[in-house]
Amino acid sequence: MTEPSHADRAGMRSLGHLLRPHRKSLAAAGLLALLNAAAALAQPLLVRRVIHDIQTGRPRAAAVTVLVFALVVAAVLSGLQSYLLQRTGEAVVLSTRVQLVRRLLRLPVTELDRRRTGDLISRVGADTTLLRTVVTSGLVDVVSGLLIAVGALVAMATVDLLLLGITVVAVTVGFTGAIVVVRRVRPASLAAQTSVGTMTSGIERALSGVRTIRAAGAEEREEAAVTVFARDAFTAGLQLARLRALLGPLAAVAVQGAFLAVLGVGGARVASGTISVGDLVAFVLLLFLLVQPLAQGIQALTAVQTGLGALSRIQEVLDLPAESASDVVIADLPVSASVEVRFQDVDFAYAKGGSVLRGTTFVAPTGRRTALVGPSGAGKSTVFALIERFYEVSSGAVLVGDQDVRNLDRAQLRNRMAYVEQDAPVLAGTLRENLLLGRPGAVDSELLAALEQVNLLELAVRSVEGLDAQVGDDGILLSGGERQRLAIARALLSRPALLLLDEPTSSLDARNEHALSRAVAAIGPGTTVLVIAHRLSTVVDADQIVVLDRGTVVATGTHDELVASSPLYRDLAARQLLV
Ligand code: ATP
C-alpha cells in the first residue's frame, strides 16, 4: 500500500475537526456496533453447538433460545446504530453548513468578486451532503467491521487452521486490489464536485438573466452553455462510477474464491473425518461474517474518500480569512451626530482591471448634502465602496469623522452609516423585519412614518397582513423603484451619521423622484448625505456637487457655479435639459 499523501492527511485532519463536536454520538454508535458485533459473532458458534447437540441426540432448548435471543438483540442493536449514525450524519451536515454560511457572509468583498456565486452555493448544498455518507456508511462501519473481522478470524482459528489459511490468502489478494482502486476515489470525487459547482454557477447566471435571455431568444445558446457544464459533471461522475464499479468484481472474485476453496477443501476434510459437518457450517458462517464487514469496510473507505474530495472544497472556504481577520483598530469614530467624509489623493484599482480612481480628492462636509455626478464608469459607486471599506485604497486615504477608515472598527463604521445600493435588494422576511433592520427598537408608528416619507405607505395596506406581509421572493414582489424606496425608508429609520445613496437611473417616476428628494432634503443636519446622482434634477439643490471623470475630481461647486465653470457638468446638464 502507498503512503497516505499530504492531501489525505490534511483531509483526515479536517474531517476529524468537523466530527469532534459529534464524538459522543459517534462513540455511542461505536459501542452499539461492538455489542452488535459480539451478538453477530456468537451466532455461528451457537449454531455449531445446536448442530452438535442434534447430532449427539441431545437437543437442548436452552441453546436454541440463546441463539434466537442473540439474533433479536443483533437486529435491534443494528437498527439503533443505524438511526444514531443517520442522525449524527445529519448533524454533521448541519454544523458544516452553519459554519460555511457564517464564513461566506463574512468573506471580504474582494474574495466574493473573485468567486462564482453558484459554485459557493454548491459547496453549501451538494458538497456538505457527501459528508453525511462518511458518517453513515463510513467510519463506524470501518471500526465495527474490523472488530467483527478480527473476531471472525479468531473464531475461525478455533475451528480449522488450514481453512483459515486459505481464507486469509484469498481475502488479502482481493482487499489489496480494492485499496489500490479506493485511493483514486478522492481526486475523482473532487473533480466531480468541482464540475457540479461550475454547472450550478452556470445555471445561477442563466436564471438570474432569464428575462434578457428570453427577450433575446437566446434560450438555446444558454442551454448549450449550461449543458456543456452538465456534461463535464457527467464525465467526472462516470470516472467515479468506473472506480466504484471496479470494486464490486474485485470483492466478488475474492469472496467467491474464498467460498469455493473453503467448501472444496472443507468438504474433503469432512469426508476424511478431520473436521465435523458442524465445524464446516460454522466456518462458512464465520466466513460470511468476515467477508461482509470487509466489503462494508471497502464501501466505507470509498465513502470517506468521496467525502474527502468534497471536504477539500468545503475546507477551502472555511480556511479563507474573514473580512476583519487582520484588522487593527486604533481609533474610535467621534460620537457627534453627523460626520465629515474626506478623500485625500486616493488611488484605487480593482484586483481585476486597471486603475479606477486617480488622485481623487474631495470633502463632503458634516451635515450637508453632497452629490457625486459624472459619466457612467467614472468611479462613483467605487467611492462608496471605499467609504464602506469593502476594498482598501491603493494609496492616499479615506477619512470619516477625521479618522482614516483603516484605523476604525468596520462594524462601528458601518453602524454609523446607511448605504442604499443602486439595485437595492429586499432582504428575506416581512416588511416590518426589513424596516427594523434600520432601527431594531422602532415602533409601528415610526415604521409607517418612514414608509410615508418615501411615498410607500401603500405597501403596508396592499396586503391584509400589513407590516407583517412577506416581501421579496416569498411574498409581495416589489418593483425596482419600490425596493429602492424601501431601502431608503430603512436608512432613514436608522438616523445614520452618514447616508450613502446610490440613486437609481431609471427606477423612479417623476412623482416618486420628488418624494425621494423631499425625504432626503428633510433628513436634517444630523446626517451627512452623499448621493450619487444620475439624474441631475434630483441634486440641483444639493449643498455641493462633485464632478468625477475617469476617477478624478474635475470640478466642485453648486449647480449654478458648475454650469458656469465646468464644461463636463454643463454638458451633462444640457443633455438632461437642465440648462
Ligand atoms: P455608473 O454610473 O454606471 O453606475 P460608476 O461611476 O458608479 O458607474 P463604478 O461602478 O464605480 O462607476 O465603476 C468604475 C469602474 O470600475 C468601471 O470601469 C467598472 O468596470 C469597474 N468596476 C466596478 N466594480 C468592479 C469590480 N467589483 N471589479 C472590477 N472592476 C470593477
Question: CA angle 255-259-262, nearest 5°?
Answer: 135
The answer for residues whose C-beta is within 8 angstroms of residue 541's C-beta and 6 or more apart is 517, 521, 559
The structural domains of the chain, ordered by start, are: 2-318 (1.20.1560.10), 341-575 (3.40.50.300)
pLDDT digits (tens, 9 = 90+) for 73-97: 888 888 898 898 889 999 999 999 9
Which is higher by pLDDT, 451 or 462?
451
pLDDT digits (tens, 9 = 90+) for 501-551: 987 655 567 776 777 777 777 777 788 999 998 888 888 889 999 999 999
Chain mean pLDDT for the chain: 86
Residue 334 has pLDDT above 50, yes or no: yes
Q: 365 exposed, middle or buried (CB, 10 Å; 0-12, 13-18, 19+)?
A: middle
The answer for residues whose C-beta is within 8 angstroms of residue 545's C-beta and 6 or more apart is 370, 371, 373, 533, 539, 556, 557, 558, 559, 562, 569
What per-residue confidence (pLDDT) applies to 506? 58
Residue 1 has pLDDT above 50, yes or no: no
Centroid of ligand 1 to alpha carbon of 393 (angstroms): 15
Q: Cell 454609523 belongs to which residue?
A: 416
Residue 3 has pLDDT above 60, yes or no: no
Mean pLDDT, rounded, for 167-188: 86
Mean pLDDT, rounded, for 487-500: 89
Cβ atoms of residues 64 and 50 within 8 Å: yes
In the chain, the percentage of residues whose pLDDT exceeds 90 is 33
Atom of ligand 1 nearest to the CA of 548: 6
Cβ atoms of residues 36 and 78 within 8 Å: yes
Take residue 486 and report the three cell numbers written for it: 424601501
pTM of the predicted model, to two decimals?
0.77
Residue 265 has pLDDT above 50, yes or no: yes
pLDDT digits (tens, 9 = 90+) for 192-205: 999 999 999 999 88
Most ligand 1 atoms within 8 A of CB, residue of 110, 111, 381 to mutate = 381
What per-residue confidence (pLDDT) applies to 308? 87
What per-residue confidence (pLDDT) applies to 165? 93
pLDDT digits (tens, 9 = 90+) for 111-163: 999 999 999 999 999 999 988 888 877 666 677 777 778 888 998 999 889 99
Residue 369 has what DSSP assignment?
E
| Ligand 1 atom 1 nearest Cα | 376
Distance CA 240, CA 234 (A): 10
Centroid of ligand 1 to alpha carbon of 382 (angstroms): 6
Residue 249 has pLDDT above 90, yes or no: no
| Ligand 1 atom 24 nearest Cα | 382
Confidence of residue 578 (pLDDT cuts 50, 70, 90): low
What per-residue confidence (pLDDT) applies to 503? 79
Distance CA 551, CA 540 (A): 22
Distance CA 44, CA 450 (A): 78
The answer for residues whose C-beta is within 8 angstroms of residue 373's C-beta and 6 or more apart is 380, 532, 533, 534, 536, 539, 545, 546, 547, 548, 569, 572
Take residue 394 and report the three cell numbers written for it: 491603493
